[in-house]
Every structure is written in C-alpha cells, then in structure tokens.
Structure 1
Amino acid sequence: MLVALVGTLSLVIAVAGTFSFRSGLREAAELFDAKLAHSARVLMSLVDEPLGDAARQPAAEPLVIKVWHGNGPGEGHALITPDGHAYETRLAFQARDADGRLLLRSDSGPAQALAPLAPGYADVVIDGQSWRTFTLRAPSGRWYQASELAGIREEIAAGIAFGTLLPLLLALPLLALMVWLAVTWASRGLLRISAEIESRAPDRLAPIQLDRVPKEIQGLVKAVNGLLSRLDSALARERRFTADAAHELRTPVAAVKVHADNLRTARSEDERGESQEQLDASVRRIERAIGQLLVMSRVESGTATRDQAPVDLAALVQRQVEDYACLASQRGITLQLQVAPGQVVGDSASLDGLVRNLLDNALRYAPTGGRVHLGLHADQGQVQLSVEDSGPGVPADARERVFERFHRELGTGVEGSGLGLSIVAQVLESHRGRIVLDESPDLGGLRARVTLPAA
C-alpha cells in the first residue's frame, strides 16, 4: 500500500510537473515576445524623428549605439549591478530605411540584418547563434527590429518552470513520510491482531474478540473466527474418531489375541479348527469395524459436501445388490429389487456407503430363509429408497437410539459395530435427506425409508 500510494503520488507530481514546466515555458515565451515588441516600439518612438536627417544623407555611416556589456555570472540578485542587468547584453536592435539601408544599430548585435524586413516575429541563426526578432515598420517607412538571443529566453523560461516544479519535488519526500505515518497509524489495529494470532498456542482456537478490531478488517477477522471454529470442530472430530476407534477395536483385537493363543496351544484338530474359525470371525469383525470407522470419518470431515455431482442412484443400488447377492444366497435369503430411474446430486462414495449399510443391516438381521426387499422410485422432485427385511425389527421406542454411535439393541444375537445407521444419518445430513424407520407392512421386520432431493 505504501509503495502504491507513494508511486501514485510520484506519478501525479511528475505529470503535473511536466504540464507546469511546459506551461512555464509557454508563458515565458509569450512574456518575452511581448517585451520584445514593446522594445521595438520604444525604439521607434525615440529615434524615428532624429533619423529623418540621417535618412537624407545616403553616404552617411550608420549610427552605432554603445550598450553596457556585462558578463552575467550567477543567477538571481547576482545578475543585478549598479550599472544594470547582465541580461541587457543579450538584447540588440537595428533601424533601417525603406530600402533596407542600416541607419542605426546596437553594438551588442551583428551588423547584418537581424531578420528579413517583414512585420512580425522571426527566428534566425546568425554566426551560429539563434536570435528571436520582432520587426516593426514605422509610418515613415523605416524598419525597426528588436532582437534577443534565444538562449537567454530558454534560460529564463527554464528558471521560471523549474521554480514552479521545485516545490512539488521537494514536497514529495514529505508527502511520502506523511503517507507512511498515516498508514502505520491506521494499520496499528491490524498489526495488533496479527501479533495476537501469531502468539497464540496451537490448541487455542477461541474466536478473536471484535471489540477492538478496526471496522476495515472486521470482515477478515470474522472469516478467521469462522476458520478457527471449523478447525476446532475438525480437531474435535479427530479426537472423537480416535477415541471411538480405540473403544471399538479394543474388544475384537483382544479376541484375536485369545483365539491366536488357543490356535497355537490347540491339542487336537477339533480344537484347532474351532480356534481357526473364531480367529477368522474376529478378523472379519475388525475389518468391518475399520471400514465403517473410515466411512464415518470421511462423512464427518465434510468431503461429501465438497465433492458433490450427479449420481445415478438406481445404478448404485443395483451394484450393491449384485455385490451382496452371494451372501444372501449362502443364507437362503430372497433378495428382491424393484427400482425405477432416479438421479440425485451428492457424493457417490458417501451414497454408496449409505446403501451398503442399509442393505448390510437388512441381510444380517433377516433370518435364514428370510426376505429382503429394496425399492427405488422418483416422485415430485424427490427420490425415495426403501429397504425392508423380515427380521425382528426395532421397537418403536428404540428407533431414535439406533442412530447413535455404537448403539446395539440387546437380544438380537447379531454381531455389529453399531455404526451402520449412524453413518446413514451423517450421509443424509450432508445431502439434505431424511430417513424414517417403521415396521414393514409386507415382511413384518424393519423398513427404512430414505428420501433425497432429485437432481
């Protein structure tokens, strides 16, 4: 900001100085031209009558008027002496008759014509020097010329222009200092907030107080407070995930150790076979728990909200049914599917986890030889998915609790982590959907009805 302000001021002063310099040169030139014309008129008024007799004597030599010659060193008052001004030596004048014969001249200029005999201004070069001349013709027919060296005009004009520009140039450092002081004073609040944020401990995520924050940066501080709040929530989720993972994996890991020891110390093939089966079951439980914990972590981290795109929910449901068809066949469960085209906007991986958890729950709670039915249809801007099973169902007073983490109804005889429906609820929250649990009118078990906005 300082560089921009000082640079802008410098540019403005440079442009203004350039126009001022050009204006000074123009005004000085006009002033000198007016003085030159005035000098010619004064000369004419003083010598036109006395020259009348000289004009009647063709053989007479021209009259040479001596002027004071000064060398003109220095500037300002140094050019002024008791005898006159140093710039006087730069002026010359001539008088000629109607035929161009020289009648009178000053010794400060050349003897040859200062300019062509034509009324008005002219610029000529004589003996390598540039002269500015004004020519005036008297009623008697005589010509009067007043001239001055162009160098003196340029010198004086440049002095006037630089005199106008110099205060602006001298004011620039002072302006830069004032701008720096003003910006430093105005940004003291920002520096204080920056120091406060920099000195904060990594675990201190409390919002920054806005009572002493300048209005100009309150929006920025509010945004930082929002970021701190999101970081606090993210860290809380990570801590909760770590605690949940430790809690959920502690029991199956202990079981794996017990069954591994039993397998190592087995004394017969029957004991070894039973221990091997128990060990395999424990590994599967750990695998399932880890998978569900990872899905839960992904859903809670907000990835599902960021990576949303059109998803063909019908194709997703069919793919999950095909994946679970083998498991259903092993347990003799009849898996029925009735889908219509339905597309939603969301995160494909999260929606895949939603359908997988609903179908997995239905298959695990359905008895051997039971039935599971999936239906999908779109209606009035919404896509509805229903998953029904012929299992024991969930009591009405427990249907809200099953969405809590690690909650499992006692007496079901089904192993699980208690995370399936919790994951479903998290996915629906990020996709603006809802779920209703009730009793299946056809199969008698649990019916889960999911509603999502259609694409």
Structure 2
Amino acid sequence: MTNSLRLRLLLWLLLPMTVYVIAAGLISRENAERTARLLQDDALLSSARVMAGDLGWENGALHAEVSPSAIEILSSPYGDMVYYSIREVGGATIAGTSDFPTRVPGEAPLWYDATVSGHPVRAVSLIRPMYDAGTTRQVVVSVGRTLLQRDATAAALWQPQMLHFAGTVAIAVVLVCIGLTFELRPLVRLANDMLVRVPNVSLRVRADPLRNELRPIVTAFNQCLDIIERKSSMQRRFIADAAHQLRTPLTLLGTQLQVARRQDDLEQVKDTLAAMHRSNGSLVTLTNQLLMLAQAEAADYADFKGAPVDLRAVATATLEQLALLAQRRRVELSAHFDAPAEVLGNEPLLNVLVFNLLDNAIRYTPAGGRVALDIVLEEERVVLTIADEGPGIRAELREVVFEPFFRASTEEGSGLGLSIVREIARAHRAHVLLADGDNGRGLVVSVAFPVRR
C-alpha cells in the first residue's frame, strides 16, 4: 500500500465513485433495455393490429391480404427479420410463416419470446373475432421480429450515459487532485517551518493557519516539544548541578593529597589520610545518590508494576541500619505498624525511600529528640509517616525542597535525598506530603501508597 496521503485520499474517493458508477451503469442498462423493449413491443402491437384489420371474407372463407404498411412498421436499418402468422384458433394457417410459433392470448394482447430458424425473436399475439352468418370465429394474429434493432436502441440509450459517468469521474479526479494539492500546502509549510527551526530556541508551530483537522496534531506536537524541552532543561540543570557538587569534594581531595605529600610527620600524614577517607566517602555517597536519582527520574512509571512488598519489613530493616546513627546522636527511635501493610513495588527502591526519610529525620533532630515511624492503613491507602523534632521546613519551601541539590539548612548533606524520595514515590504511584509536627514543631513526612489488591 502506498504511503502517499494524496494517493490514499484519491483511492478512498475513487472506491465509492467506482461502486456508484457500476451500480448506476447497471441500472441505466436495465432501463435502456426496458425502454427499447417497450418500443419494440409497441411497434409489434401496431403491426399486428394492422394485419388484423386486413382480415376479410371471400366466398365464405377467411382471407388475409397483408398490406405493406403492416410490414413497414417493423422495418429496421439493422436487417431484422419479420415473421407473422394468421390462423384460426384450432385451425389451419391463413397467412404467414408456418413454423412461426404462436400463442393463444386472452382478451388482451400477449407478448412472448420465441426462436425462429435459430434466431431469437420478440413476438406478440392478439385475437380478432370474425363474424359470419351468426357464427363467431376466433383468429390469432401473431407478429415477431428479431432483436437487432432492440439491442442497438438499448446500446444507443445506455452507452452515452456510461460515457457521461466516466467523464464525471475523470473530472472529479482532476478536481480532487487540484484540491488536495492546495489543501496539503499547509502541511508542506509546516514541514518547512520545522526544518528551519533554530537549535536551542523555543519555537512552537502555530495552529491558527491550519485546518481544524490538523490543529490537534500540531497541539499534540507542541505538547511533545514542551515535554522534551522540560526534560532537556532538567537534564542540563542536573548535569550542571552535579558538576558543581562534585567539583567541591574533588577539589578538597586534591588539596588534601597535596598537603599529604608535603608532610613528613607520620601522625600528620595519618590525620590527612583520615580526612581524605572521609572526603572519599562523601564523594562515593554523592555519586551513588546521583546515580539513584538519574535511574529514578528515567523510570517508565506507566509500565511499573512491581511485586508484593511488606512495608513493615522494609521499615524494620531500615531502623536496624540507622539505629547506631540515632544512638550516636542521642535520638530516640520509635515505630508503630498496622497489619497488614503490603504494597506493590520494588523492595530495593522502597528501602532507599525509607532510608533517606529516616536518615534526614535523625540528622535534623537535635540531641534528646525523638523520631517516630508509623505505618497505618487508611481506607484504600497504606500511609508511611516519619515525624521528627527538628527545625522543620517553612511552608513556602515545601515544594522546592524536592528539587535536586536544594538544601533548606546548613546541615551536612547533598540535597538529593528528597528528590530521590519523590521519584521513587512517583514510580510506586504514591504521594508525598510535608506537614508541621505537633504544636508546630518538627516535620512530618507522609507517603501514601495504594493498597495491594
């Protein structure tokens, strides 16, 4: 099948037109044949009536002297043969062709088809009553003619109409081709506009000059451009921010290397190596978080199905991981779980989500404070809640804190934790909500997951 829109539209136009022309041609041919048959039948009846008028009595016997006018009525320029027969009903033939088949009609004339000497013939028969000495004698007058003129008349009526239909189709095709050429020009201009787009410049295709049927395509195309530009902008910003964040620990590590090379005291070298080890650990952590964020942002949420995961087991494992950190910072950890708490998801990603939220809560809670982790079932949702007693986040910053590298305080960190949490929550069709703690103290982070069915 061709990929040309013009040809496909033309084919879709020709298909119904062809069906119409065939149907109209068949109907026209049938009408032409009916008209030609009626003309021939009328001529046959007129000839038979003239012959019936030529009947008479002669010496008590029926006599028929067919006048030339009766035959002249059926004269044909196509060489048709004319046959007739005049005979009494149940009697002998009075005049005409003896092998011409006749039919005995009723009160009305009877038309019929017959064959004479191998030639198809159209014929008519009528009754002429003859009266003599108080008696009535029935005479059958039959007249027939071959079909050459009838077929020629039908063709003369039918063929011009077919030529007219063919001409109409040809004119329609030409006009449609011209119309398509003009109507497809906006698409050509649209393609040219796209080809001359300046790189790195935000341009949109105008839908106003286009036809109504093309505007949804342009609108969808512009929406795709918006998505691509937004993703590209996010990628460029991410790369720039990542480069900026990596530059500091790499510079610090390089400086520490230079200091270690110049030192002769073994204790000072050990201190410098310890500092380098901490810098390297921070760099590894930052790199891992960057990779995790990139993977989470690139996830196809539409196809994410996951597997059954017990959120309580994930939370318990995370609490065990961070128990030592909480102990060093003198932060009390508490947990409360409802049963059941199964969700559909990816267990390693859920581990990262709970770890980041709990790690942030412990780091921002002052010594002697408390961090509470709750998992409850609310109607159609499983809600994970982590509440701390730290400084909290102002209401106007609760949207931007999910942006990569944004930090609401001077606490040590990369600023990627909540960004990773948001992307993992999106992948699990969950919603993250930030709110104030009790009495306006601290921060409460809630992640609502859909219940596993």
TM-score, normalised via structure 2 length? 0.76
Alignment of 1:278-357 (within 5 A): 278-298=275-295, 300=297, 303-304=300-301, 306-307=302-303, 315-316=310-311, 318-323=313-318, 325-329=320-324, 332=327, 335-340=333-338, 341-342=340-341, 353-357=352-356
Q: Does 1:139 align with 2:135?
A: no
Q: Does 1:96 align with 2:87?
A: yes
Q: Which moved more, 1:341-350 or 1:165-174?
A: 341-350
RMSD of equivalent CA atoms: 4.2
Return the letter of the residue paired with 1:373: A
Q: 2:192 and 2:101 mapped to 1: Cα distance?
A: 77
TM-score, normalised via structure 1 length? 0.75
Q: State the match for 1:56 in structure 2.
A: 61
- Offset at residue 397 of structure 1 (A): 6.1
SS in 1 for 2:86: strand
SS in 1 for 2:101: coil
Q: Does 1:219 align with 2:202?
A: no
Q: Which moved more, 1:122-131 or 1:148-157?
A: 148-157
Q: 1:218 and 1:57 mapped to 2: Cα distance?
A: 90
Question: CA distance change for structure 1 residues 339 and 440 in 2, over 3 Å: closer, same or farther?
Answer: farther
Question: CA distance change for structure 1 residues 425 and 127 in 2, over 3 Å: closer, same or farther?
Answer: closer
Alignment of 1:29-40 (within 5 A): 29-40=37-48
Deviation sequence 1:66-99 (CA, Å, 0-9, x none) = 89999xxxxxxxxxxxxx7514643333323445
Q: 1:19 and 1:202 mapped to 2: Cα distance?
A: 62
Alignment of 1:13-52 (within 5 A): 13-45=21-53, 47-49=54-56, 52=57
Question: CA distance change for structure 1 residues 232 and 411 in 2, over 3 Å: closer, same or farther?
Answer: closer
SS in 1 for 2:209: coil
Deviation sequence 1:237-281 (CA, Å, 0-9, x none) = 111111112112222334455567788999788677656655544
Return the letter of the residue paired with 1:195: N
Q: 2:31 and 2:235 mapped to 1: Cα distance?
A: 72
Picking from 110, 115, 119, the partner of 1:129 is 119
Q: How many residues align?
A: 422
Q: State the match for 2:154 in structure 1.
A: 157
Q: 1:161 and 1:349 mapped to 2: Cα distance?
A: 81
Q: Which moved more, 1:26-35 or 1:277-286?
A: 277-286
Q: 2:65 and 2:173 mapped to 1: Cα distance?
A: 62
- Offset at residue 419 of structure 1 (A): 1.7
Q: 1:229 and 1:330 mapped to 2: Cα distance?
A: 44
Deviation sequence 1:128-174 (CA, Å, 0-9, x none) = 21112112221123222111113442332233222332211221111
Give yes or no for contact 1:384–1:451 (8 Å, CA) kept in 2: yes
Give yes or no for contact 1:308–1:347 (8 Å, CA) kept in 2: no
- Quick one: percent identity of the two aligned structures? 24
Question: CA distance change for structure 1 residues 410 and 166 in 2, over 3 Å: closer, same or farther?
Answer: closer
Q: Does 1:114 align with 2:127?
A: no
- Offset at residue 6 of structure 1 (A): 2.1
Picking from 375, 391, 394, the partner of 2:391 is 394
- Offset at residue 435 of structure 1 (A): 0.8
SS in 2 for 1:30: helix
Give yes or no for contact 2:121–2:146 (8 Å, CA) kept in 1: yes
Give yes or no for contact 1:310–1:343 (8 Å, CA) kept in 2: no
Q: Which moved more, 1:18-27 or 1:251-260?
A: 251-260
Q: 2:39 and 2:346 mapped to 1: Cα distance?
A: 82
- Offset at residue 208 of structure 1 (A): 1.8
Return the letter of the residue paired with 1:338: H
